[in-house]
Structure 1
Amino acid sequence: MNTILLEDVFCDSGVPQYTFVEPAEYIKTKVALRTRGRGVIVEGPSGIGKTTCIKKALAEIDMKATMLSARVPDDIEFIKFILQSPENLGVVIIDDFHLLDDTIKKGFSDLLKVLADTARADTKLVLIGINKAGECLIQLAPDLNNRIDTIKFEKNPEEKIEELITKGEDVLNITITCKKDIVGNSYGSFHIAQMLCKTLCIDQRITEQQRDRIEISAPIKNIIHIKMQELARIFTPTTRTFAAGNRNRRDGRALYLRLLIWLSEADDGALQMNEVSMVHPQYKYSINQIADKGYITRLIDNNANIKDVLYYDASSRILAIEDPKYMFYLKNTDWNQFAKEMGFKLENIKTLYDFALSFAGEKRVYAESLYNHLTENEYSVFYDKNQTPDILGKDLDKYFEPIYEAGATYVIVLMDAYYPKKVWTVFESKHYKDRFGENSVIPIIFNDFILSPTDPLYNKGCLTIDRGKDMEEQINEIVRILIEKMNS
């Protein structure tokens, strides 16, 4: 009889031969697969056991299926063919379907409706995606929801993780005395449990089935440390790249770094941006900006290493972890140390905006240029024109007052001859005047305005704009200085 090897018991990939445990969703999945015509969407956190569950269920009901992956270029060609000729295909399973572009997703949402409405038995679609991935199809076709079966895998309960480990113990003829610690640090993921058990066995020199039963153990912090050293070589450069963002910013808001921290705290390995904004309201406008302007999409799409571990869906505004090992890495990273090594300041941000602009209407062209340049550098900026939908129907006095008093890290004042004569600029100045002592008011003086000795801005460090010179060149230089100020 052949000796059973460690890697065949606690395995890093593929369908486990000895340690498969039925997830809570197994029976529902099996019935959904047997149901003719009606499409199935299977979604859940990475590493939770979705694909393994489907493969096991297919084997149990003796059902043949075509397995495709959105990660494989040749498979994508066949996936496109399905949309053109969806007849007599049998059961087709598409893994990681969330990675398909929106045009293909829309095609599948339409096809799923047709298959359901016509009760077709010749073709059945099963789409597998990460947590909340099904929402992107519902966004594209809201009436699809009642025409498909959606199976949501959630993190596995501790008794399921313990069952997996026990199966592995019995096959290898070992007893893992730190089993409870491994269960608690698997975060409900079968994949992570397999990984930790394999790491422990290697550390304890267990590479195959034992002739006599033996006990093995190690402090869980040691096992985590061993795995983190291995994963750090793979993931730390990628994490640094994402944390720095498109502009390599390291100021106090550090939004991309905070997204990683929030992901590490999420039970399901995913963040819905609208929900994050409600939990962390001081980041609302920064979050909306990187989502609405496509900055987070650009960051992920332009870096293959980031794309391997993180996924962002612009329509549902969901950021999710693709790789269960990366989830483990994020959850066990010392974020204070990480921030310190990168030169980030993880300050307790209290303001809604990085900058608030105060200006007379006659200088709007300058204000708009400043707004555009700052937002292109991914700073959140209060600019009245951009807030029109939010302002409608509200008491403007009460709306503007807190923004200029404390709602922005810095107030930028575009001071010209018109500024002291306008009702709203005078109103705004009343509410930011006490901030001069905090050095959080930044005056920009136009050369057609002379400050009097009684003006609050007199003798304050300021920037200048010469109306006779190129506006864009001057705005570019001002933005450079403002970024230095923010990072100081």
Structure 2
Amino acid sequence: MSGVKLEEVFKVGGVPTHTFVEPVEYNQLIVALRTPGRGIVVEGPSGIGKTTALMRAIDKLCIKEDVINLSGRRTQDIDLIKELPNMGDVGIVLIDDFHRLDNKIKQDIADHLKLLADEESTGSKIIVLGINQAGQTLIKFAQDLNNRLEVISFEKNPDEKVRELLNKGQDALKININIIDDIVSESNGSFYIAQMLASQICIDANILESSQEIQSVEVSFEFSRGKVFDRLSRSFKDCATAFCQGTRVRPEGRAPYLHLLYWLAQSDDWTVSIKHILRQHPEHRGSIIQVAEKGYLASLINTNPEISSVLHYDSVSQLLTVEDPQFMYYIKNLSWNKFAKDIGFDSIGFTTPYDFALSFAGEDREIAKMLFDKFEERETHVFYDKNEQHRILAQDVEDYLRPIYQSDAEFVVVLLSLSYPKKIWCKFESDNFKQRFKEKSVIPIWFDEVQPGLFDETTRVGGISFVRSINIENQLDSIVDLCCKKLQEFRNERN
């Protein structure tokens, strides 16, 4: 008798069964579905679990047979969506991919939603499902819809929810995966990415279905992660290239499309606002206005089916959004400077806010501070937490630090003392920079009290030894000198 199949557990298409996890927004969704007449907008990044949650909530309330499913992607559905305001009582209508409808249809649906809410209709209910700020787009068309809609915004899932999904998958397949923490960290709140990575890891471990006995899955996360990226690269590199090059490559220009995709890759919510970009990057103001406000950006996306399948631009809200979680994972893990050169932009370099970021245990703060001061004397820009307390104040510390260790520093200098693996924040930082070992962007400093094998991952790359009993000043001078030479060599190669 065969067991439960891998593709039935860690699903990369369709509604999950074994691994369904109620998102934080689930109860709000249930109540909204039970409220007569009141329209619902479910918005949020693709891959976050909003469609799955909605379908499971509909099943739970036993109203699936009453729901008419329409999509802004299906040509045959668009005519029916246009007619909804004239059709009287139609029951529950779900409009998926609402953001893809043209503005006239959006305006008519907004007016209809207002009417249904005012009449407290029990015969019709419209559910709009779309990407980020679908609710705000509707309100732009009908300003007084604000209090007549239930807008449920799905955000990236907390780590404990992603871990719950993975644990359900492990139980269904009767396995123990050795790198669950890595999958949780890499998923960045996306249920879809967690399913995709877990599926590849099981394939690499020859786990294709459940067995009678619990099996241990012992694989290298970097190996499986690399296979996922290679597969996605084959699928999406041409699409990303076509978008970044626009109608034709202008090597001497400011590469606005390339920069837009780069900024999109850095975003946490898979969306960039043109208005915010113009404020944050005034040096690109002319080129961005040229492509966004003159319609070139919308035209590039809308006339290329491959691009429009993964990107969407809303000219009303001026939001550029990723629609495919696999594409988002691909661009987040691109080596952007290499990619820019590969597609013809030899003069474009993506500079980082920091030259170096220090990672260390609190017990070694005195040495870290001395190292920071010496880096500063060499006129390099270094992230050192105590020097940035005023910027961290009132912010989510994890959200602030994550991009610094992932990509905002050219190199991470990590002080590997005996205390390092015992600290929670060191674990958080190392989780976010460990993928950069393959990029040759992590410089380990091994303290002499550390036993061989404690930091096995770091021994695969070149590092520097530090002996506490020898003159510290001289050693730090030598470390800074070597790091600065490495930085200069890197810049020369990039340019």
- 1-side partners of 2:253 and 2:205: how far apart? 44
- 1:117 has 2:114 as partner: no
Q: Residue type matched to 1:219 in 2?
A: S
Q: CA deviation at 1:211?
A: 1.7
- 1-side partners of 2:251 and 2:226: how far apart? 28
8 Å CA contact 1:44–1:129 kept in 2: the answer is: yes
Q: In structure 2, what is the equivalent of residue 81 of structure 1?
A: 83
Q: In structure 2, what is the equivalent of residue 47 of structure 1?
A: 47
Q: Trace 1:237-248 onto structure 2 (pairs within 5 A).
A: 237-248=238-249
Q: Residue type matched to 1:10 in 2?
A: F
Q: What do residues 153-187 of structure 1 show as CA deviations (whole Å, max 9, x unaligned)?
A: 00000110000000000010000110000111112
- 1:18 has 2:36 as partner: no
Q: In structure 2, what is the equivalent of residue 145 of structure 1?
A: 146
Q: CA deviation at 1:252?
A: 5.2
- 2-side partners of 1:284 and 1:145: how far apart? 32
SS in structure 2 at match of 1:320: strand
8 Å CA contact 2:273–2:319 kept in 1: the answer is: yes
Q: CA deviation at 1:133?
A: 2.4
Q: What do residues 260-312 of structure 1 show as CA deviations (whole Å, max 9, x unaligned)?
A: 11111100000111111122121123222211101101111111100000000
8 Å CA contact 1:174–1:214 kept in 2: the answer is: yes
Q: Residue type matched to 2:30 in 1?
A: K
Q: In structure 2, what is the equivalent of residue 401 of structure 1?
A: none
Q: CA deviation at 1:70?
A: 1.3
SS in structure 2 at match of 1:271: strand
| 1:348 to 1:234, Cα distance in 2 relative to 1, 3 A | closer
- 1:202 has 2:188 as partner: no
8 Å CA contact 2:274–2:320 kept in 1: the answer is: yes
SS in structure 1 at match of 2:187: coil
8 Å CA contact 2:312–2:323 kept in 1: the answer is: yes
Q: What do residues 48-75 of structure 1 show as CA deviations (whole Å, max 9, x unaligned)?
A: 0111001111111112311221112222
- 2-side partners of 1:254 and 1:184: how far apart? 32
- 2-side partners of 1:241 and 1:217: how far apart? 39
8 Å CA contact 1:339–1:346 kept in 2: the answer is: yes
Q: Residue type matched to 2:270 in 1?
A: G
Q: In structure 2, what is the equivalent of residue 217 of structure 1?
A: 218
Q: Residue type matched to 1:44 in 2?
A: G
For structure 2, list consecutive stretches of 5 or more residues without a partner in the other structure: 352-495
Q: Residue type matched to 1:207 in 2?
A: L
- 2-side partners of 1:81 and 1:252: how far apart? 46
- 2-side partners of 1:142 and 1:276: how far apart? 26
SS in structure 1 at match of 2:240: helix
Q: What do residues 176-226 of structure 1 show as CA deviations (whole Å, max 9, x unaligned)?
A: 110000111112110110000001111111100122111113232222210
8 Å CA contact 1:48–1:188 kept in 2: the answer is: yes
- 1:108 has 2:114 as partner: no
- 2-side partners of 1:70 and 1:30: how far apart? 24
TM-score (normalizing by structure 1): 0.70
Q: CA deviation at 1:29?
A: 0.6
8 Å CA contact 2:310–2:323 kept in 1: the answer is: yes
Question: Which deviates the most, 121-130 or 222-231?
Answer: 222-231
- 1-side partners of 2:314 and 2:90: how far apart? 29
Q: Trace 1:466-485 onto structure 2 (pairs within 5 A).
A: none
Q: In structure 2, what is the equivalent of residue 61 of structure 1?
A: 61
Q: Residue type matched to 1:210 in 2?
A: S
Superposed CA RMSD in Å reads 1.4
8 Å CA contact 2:43–2:153 kept in 1: the answer is: yes
Q: Residue type matched to 2:156 in 1?
A: K
Q: CA deviation at 1:251?
A: 2.8
Q: In structure 2, what is the equivalent of residue 267 of structure 1?
A: 268
Q: In structure 2, what is the equivalent of residue 326 of structure 1?
A: 327
- 2-side partners of 1:132 and 1:45: how far apart? 10
- 1-side partners of 2:238 and 2:252: how far apart? 20
Q: Trace 1:334-373 onto structure 2 (pairs within 5 A).
A: 334-344=335-345, 345-347=347-349
Aligned residues: 348
- 2-side partners of 1:76 and 1:126: how far apart? 15
SS in structure 2 at match of 1:226: helix
Q: What do residues 346-385 of structure 1 show as CA deviations (whole Å, max 9, x unaligned)?
A: 2479xxxxxxxxxxxxxxxxxxxxxxxxxxxxxxxxxxxx
Q: In structure 1, what is the equivalent of residue 411 of structure 2?
A: none
Q: Trace 1:58-457 onto structure 2 (pairs within 5 A).
A: 58-64=58-64, 65-85=67-87, 87-251=88-252, 253-344=254-345, 345-347=347-349
- 2-side partners of 1:250 and 1:212: how far apart? 59
SS in structure 2 at match of 1:146: coil
8 Å CA contact 1:246–1:295 kept in 2: the answer is: no
Q: Residue type matched to 1:128 in 2?
A: L
8 Å CA contact 1:200–1:217 kept in 2: the answer is: no
Q: Residue type matched to 2:160 in 1?
A: E
8 Å CA contact 1:49–1:191 kept in 2: the answer is: yes
For structure 1, list consecutive stretches of 5 or more residues without a partner in the other structure: 350-488
Question: Which deviates the most, 63-72 or 235-244?
Answer: 63-72
Percentage of matched positions with identical amino acids: 45
SS in structure 2 at match of 1:333: coil
8 Å CA contact 2:23–2:161 kept in 1: the answer is: yes
Q: Which has the larger radius of gyration?
A: 1
- 2-side partners of 1:301 and 1:183: how far apart? 34
Q: In structure 1, what is the equivalent of residue 380 of structure 2?
A: none
Q: Residue type matched to 2:58 in 1?
A: L
Q: CA deviation at 1:317?
A: 0.3
8 Å CA contact 1:252–1:346 kept in 2: the answer is: no
- 2-side partners of 1:236 and 1:271: how far apart? 21
- 1-side partners of 2:350 and 2:308: how far apart? 29
Q: Residue type matched to 1:83 in 2?
A: P
Q: What do residues 129-174 of structure 1 show as CA deviations (whole Å, max 9, x unaligned)?
A: 0112222212222221111010000000011000000000001000
8 Å CA contact 2:337–2:350 kept in 1: the answer is: no
SS in structure 2 at match of 1:237: helix
TM-score (normalizing by structure 2): 0.69
- 1-side partners of 2:6 and 2:189: how far apart? 22
8 Å CA contact 2:249–2:344 kept in 1: the answer is: no
8 Å CA contact 1:68–1:92 kept in 2: the answer is: yes
Q: In structure 1, what is the equivalent of residue 471 of structure 2?
A: none
